[in-house]
Amino acid sequence: MPATSTLFAIMAVGKPEALKTAIETKYSDQAMEVAPGQWLVVRPSTMTTLEVATELGIYDGSTSAGIVLSISSYNGRTRPSTWEWITAKTGATSNASQAG
């Protein structure tokens, strides 16, 4: 999937369980929950934040209120499995700390 995918961050603002169900249903192995109500999602590079929000029922509020962010760079400190997932799904690498 490298070079043809975009990394998105999704944050639930309301009804995190409903949003979790929508993400698991629509994106199955293309999503990772990093904390309750927070996900990383990989979608085709042609997709926009509006399209992701619409697919998940965030835009119209039918599933949950939430925020969808397109990620062009990242860094931070978390579990090694998070960085491994990002690398496997996008081919990207980071200087991020691998401790959690």
For 3-12, give one letter per residue: b (16+ CB within 10 A) or e. Answer: eebbbbbbbb
Using the structure block, give the residue that is written with the tokens 């039918």.
Answer: 62
pLDDT recorded at residue 2: 45
How many CB atoms sit inside 10 A of residue 51's CB? 14
H or E stretch including 17? Answer: helix 16-27
Q: What is the pLDDT of residue 91?
A: 80
Residue 36 scores a pLDDT above 80: yes
Give me the percent of the chain exceeding a pLDDT of 70: 89
What tens digit of pLDDT does each residue of 1-14 get?
A: 445 899 999 999 99
Q: Count CB neighbours of 95 within 10 A.
A: 6
Biggest distance spanned by C-alpha atoms of the chain: 38
Whether the CB-CB separation of 47 and 10 falls below 8 Å is answered with no
85 pLDDT above the threshold of 90: yes
Asked whether the beta carbons of 63 and 57 are under 8 A apart, the reply is: yes
